[in-house]
A and B are shown apart, each in its own frame.
Chain A
Amino acid sequence: MLMIKCPWCGEREQIEFSAGGEAHIARPEKPDELTDEEWGSYIYVRKNPKGVHYERWVHSHGCGKWFNAVRHTVSDIFWDVYKIGEEPPFVPEGWDGTETRDDYNARLSAGTVTVTGAGAGTGETK
C-alpha cells in the first residue's frame, strides 16, 4: 500500500486520500479575455510528467484537508508534502525517484552522491 504523509495527520494509507491532480494551476484572472486555446489549455491540458510531479491530495477519509505533494511518477515515492499556500519544496535534479528524501540526503551527507547541474545542493526545502 502506498503510504502518504498528511501534513496534519501524519502517515496514512493511500485509500484514505483522494488525488486532486496537478498542483499550482492558477485560475486565469480575466477569463473573459482568454482565447479558446488558452481556456481549453487551462481546463484540460496537463504536464503529466514521467518524473517529478507536483500534485494535490485531499485527506478525504481523515481530516478532510487539501494539501500538496511532490511525487516521482515512476516509483510513486514522495519527496515531500506541504500545506496549501506554502512554497513548493526544491527537488534536486539528481533525485531519480528511487529513494526517499531522507535516504537521498543521507547519501548526500555521506558524500556517496555527486550532484551536478541546477539542482546541486542539499535537497533541503527552500
Chain B
Amino acid sequence: MTKYSIFSLIRNALSYHENWQKAWRSPDPKPEYDVVIVGGGGHGLATAYYLAKECGITNIAVIEKGWLGGGNTGRNTTIVRSNYLWDESAALYDHSVKLWETMSQDLNYNVMFSQRGLLHLAHNVHDMQEIGRRGHAIYLNGIDSEFLSPAQVKEMVPFINLNCRYPVMGALLQRRGGTARHDAVAWGYARACDEMGVDIIQNCEVKGFKIDAGVVRGVETSRGFIGAKKVGVVTAGHSSVMAEMAGFRMPLESFPLQAFVSEPLKPAIDVVVMSNAIHAYISQSDKGELVIGGSGDPYISYSQRGSFDQIEHVAGPVVELYPIFSRVRMMRQWGGITDVTVDRSPIITKTPVENLYFNCGWGTGGFKATPGSGRVFAHSLANGEMHPIAAPFAMDRFYSGALIDEAAAAAVAH
C-alpha cells in the first residue's frame, strides 16, 4: 500500500492522478474467519482495526449490508467531545478523544479532526446548575472544561443573540472538542484494515446466526454462510433486529434522528455550539456548510427520514439564536436510526450466546466515540473478557440497576 504523503501527491499529480491504488480490496468472503464484525460503520471498522493492530488477529471480515459508512457514520453531525458527567463515561469518551488526536497520523489518512472547541449554552437556572455540576465532575476526571460568561460567549460567537427568547446565561466550554470528517474516518479505517489483511465485504447482508448449543459458529448472509470463531455485532439502529435473529432481546429502542446542512457560506462560526435546552446544535464544515442537528423523533421508526415537525423544532431556535442565518437556505436533510438506551449510555457486552458480542446503544452520540469504542470492543473480543473501560457498560446493568445515567449530557446534543 502506498503511503499517502506530499511526495505521493506530487508524483500522482504529475501522472494526472490516474495511478492511485484502490484504498481497499473487495474480496469474496472466505469460508471461515477468526472474527466476523457485522456492520461496516466507523465503530465496526475501528474494532477490526484495533483487533488487527493491537490484538494480533488479522483473519477478520467486516460484513456490511450496504456501503461503508453509509449508516449513522455518514449521517451524523460529526461532533467530538468528552464532557460527560459520570466517571465511566468520562473514561470511555476521553479515551476516544485521545485516540482522535493522533488518528490522522495513525491511519496515514487525514480525518480532518479539528479541535475547534465546543460550547454548551445554558439558558436558565437549571441549565446553569447542570453545567456547574457536570463541569466540575469533568474537571475532576482530568478533562478540560471552562465556564464562560455571556460576554465571553459573545466574544467567541460575535453574532449570537444573547437576549433571545431563552437568554444565554453562560456556557460550558471544552476546548479539545470539535469535529472530524465522518466519511474519512470510515475510509481511513477501511484502508488501514485492508492493509493488515482484513477482508471488507460490502453489499452483504447478515440474515441470521448459526448457533450450536449456545455457541455462535458463524453468520448466514446474502452471500452464503461465513464461519466465525467470534462474532462482534456493531449495527447501531438495527441491533434489536440482530439480537432477535440471535434469539434474545435488548434494552433498546430505535428512533430517527435528523440533521441538516445549509448551502456553503464563508467562514462564520469557528466553534461548535450546542444547546440542550432549546434542542439545536450547529457547527460549520470545512466546505462552509452549516451543519445543524436537534433532537430525535419521538416515536420508534426505521424510516431513515425524520419527521417534518422536527425541522421547525430545530430551525426555530437556530434562527432565534443566530438571526444572521435566517436567510440561509438548507441544502440537504436526512435521518439516521439511533439505538437508544434508557440511560443514554452505550451497551458493550457479552450476550446469552457464547462468543457473540454486541456493541450498540450509542444512541444519538456514537460518532465521537468511534476510536475508543472500537479499541475497547476489540480488546474485549480478543481476550474474551470485557476491557476495564467497557465493563461498566455491559447489558447486565439493566438488571442490577447500575445505570450510567447520562440523560443530561447525552440525551440531546451531538
A interface list, Cβ under 8 A from B:
1-2, 13-15, 18-19, 21-22, 36-37, 39-41, 43-50, 53, 55, 73-76
B interface list, Cβ under 8 A from A:
238, 240-241, 244, 249-254, 298-303, 307-309, 341-342, 398-401
Q: Which residues of B have CB within 8 Å of A50? A: 238, 240-241, 254, 302
Asked whether B303 lies within 8 Å of A75 as measured between CB atoms, the reply is yes
Asked whether B253 lies within 8 Å of A73 as measured between CB atoms, the reply is no
Asked whether B240 lies within 8 Å of A49 as measured between CB atoms, the reply is yes
Asked whether A73 lies within 8 Å of B398 as measured between CB atoms, the reply is no
Asked whether A45 lies within 8 Å of B300 as measured between CB atoms, the reply is no
Q: Which residues of A have CB within 8 Å of B401? A: 36, 40
Q: Which residues of A have CB within 8 Å of B250? A: 45, 48
CB distance from B74 to the nearest CB of A (A): 19
Total contacts A-B at CB 8 Å:
75
Q: Which residues of A have CB within 8 Å of B309? A: 1, 13-15
Question: Chain A residue with minimal CB distance to B239?
Answer: A48
Choose one: A14, A19, A44, A47; the contact of B240 (CB below 8 Å): A47
Q: Which residues of B have CB within 8 Å of A1? A: 307-309
Bound-complex Cα distance A18 to B309 (A): 13
Asked whether B298 lies within 8 Å of A18 as measured between CB atoms, the reply is yes
Choose one: A14, A22, A44; the contact of B342 (CB below 8 Å): A44
Bound-complex Cα distance A18 to B292 (A): 24
Contacts A1-B307, A48-B253, A48-B254; A37 near B299 (Cβ below 8 A): no
Bound-complex Cα distance A75 to B241 (A): 16
CB distance from B345 to the nearest CB of A (A): 12
Bound-complex Cα distance A37 to B251 (A): 12
Asked whether B249 lies within 8 Å of A40 as measured between CB atoms, the reply is no
Bound-complex Cα distance A14 to B301 (A): 14
Other than the given A19-B299, A40-B401, A73-B301, 19 more pairs (CB < 8 A) read A1-B308, A13-B309, A22-B300, A37-B399, A40-B251, A40-B398, A40-B399, A40-B400, A41-B399, A43-B342, A43-B398, A44-B341, A45-B249, A46-B240, A47-B249, A49-B240, A50-B302, A73-B302, A74-B302
Q: Which residues of A have CB within 8 Å of B251? A: 40, 44-46
**16 residue pairs bridging A and B, Cβ less than 8 Å apart:** A1-B307, A1-B308, A19-B299, A21-B253, A22-B300, A36-B399, A40-B400, A41-B249, A44-B341, A45-B398, A48-B240, A48-B252, A48-B253, A49-B240, A73-B254, A73-B301
Bound-complex Cα distance A60 to B241 (A): 30
Choose one: B241, B253, B298; the contact of A46 (CB below 8 Å): B253
Question: Chain B residue with minimal CB distance to A13?
Answer: B309
Bound-complex Cα distance A55 to B309 (A): 20
Bound-complex Cα distance A18 to B250 (A): 23
Choose one: A13, A39, A43, A76; the contact of B301 (CB below 8 Å): A76
Bound-complex Cα distance A73 to B379 (A): 35
The 5 nearest A-B residue pairs measured at CB: A40-B399, A19-B299, A44-B251, A48-B240, A36-B399
